[in-house]
Amino acid sequence: MVVAMEPERIQQSVREVIGSLPAGITLVAAGKTRTPEELRAAIEGGVTVIGHNYVQEAEASITAVGRGVRWHMIGHLQRNKAARAVELFDMIETVDSARLGRALEKACAATGKVMPVLVEVNSGEESSKYGADPDDVPALVEELAGLEHLRVEGLMTMGPFSPDPEKSRPPFQLTQKLFERIRDLDLPGVHMRHLSMGMSDSYRVAIEEGATLVRIGTRLFGPR
């Protein structure tokens, strides 16, 4: 049985991580399965962005914790959840298809909201992972750029699940090169400012390879 960390320990962990981040890097606290008490402790420690993998879980967290921080969707989003995701989140980091983009556009248009989004890249080209094929990403960004209520602000990738952070370096490098390539296209309506890469075991490597957002859970809260 996993024992939850005390709030003071979470606050300390958050402060340590934030204190270690270079200027311009934002910590996204990965809130999957975390209780409202754990999330509040992270906020007390200095967290300003919380990421969630599931719409329903995020809704419960936002209801309990409130809107004092920004909320990011960092898990796979089904099209039938697009409308609720638009209501809940301040950014969706996992747009991986034009069909999902159009579903989000429809939901945003209904409320007049403009949603910042990141395009998820399957940088390891793993069949078990979500994300657009790297070769398809520039065309997908261009298509999403034509949607009035979406604002493409960068790329996101997961990287491999491995205890060795160095195994994440090649996928991170590939995603960073894609990021630069798309930025150099200077597409109208595309503002390439965010590169979301790295988790608890790999965020240091991700930062070395250009990440501006790092999604960290276990390092802050302890094991699930």
Q: Residue 208, class by beta-carbon neighbours within 10 Å (0-12 exposed, 13-18 middle, 19+ buried)?
A: middle
Residue 126 has pLDDT above 90, yes or no: no
- State the average pLDDT over residues 199-204: 96
pLDDT tens for 57-89 read 999 999 999 999 999 999 999 999 999 999 999
Residue 183 has pLDDT above 60, yes or no: yes
Residue 22 has pLDDT above 60, yes or no: yes
Cα–Cα distance, 215 to 25 (Å, whole number): 11
Whether residue 2 is contained in a domain is answered as: no
Reported as a pLDDT band with limits 50, 70 and 90, residue 94 is very high
- CATH classification of the domain holding 192: 3.20.20.10
Whether residue 202 is contained in a domain is answered as: yes
Whether residue 123 is contained in a domain is answered as: yes
Reported as a pLDDT band with limits 50, 70 and 90, residue 1 is very low
**Helix 7-20 × helix 36-45 angle, to 10°:** 40
Q: What pLDDT score was predicted for residue 21?
A: 98
How many folded domains does the chain comprise? 1
Buried b (16+ CB within 10 A) or exposed e, 139-178: ebbbebbebebbbbbbbbbbbeeeeebebbbebbebbbeb
**Helix 169-185 × helix 137-145 angle, to 10°:** 40
- The domain in which residue 39 lies consists of 7-221
Q: What pLDDT score was predicted for residue 125?
A: 73
Whether residue 190 is contained in a domain is answered as: yes
- State the average pLDDT over residues 81-103: 98
Cα–Cα distance, 89 to 59 (Å, whole number): 9
Whether residue 178 is contained in a domain is answered as: yes
Beta carbons of 153 and 192 less than 8 angstroms apart: yes
Whether residue 216 is contained in a domain is answered as: yes
Beta carbons of 132 and 142 less than 8 angstroms apart: no
Whether residue 183 is contained in a domain is answered as: yes
Residue type, 121: V
Whether residue 1 is contained in a domain is answered as: no
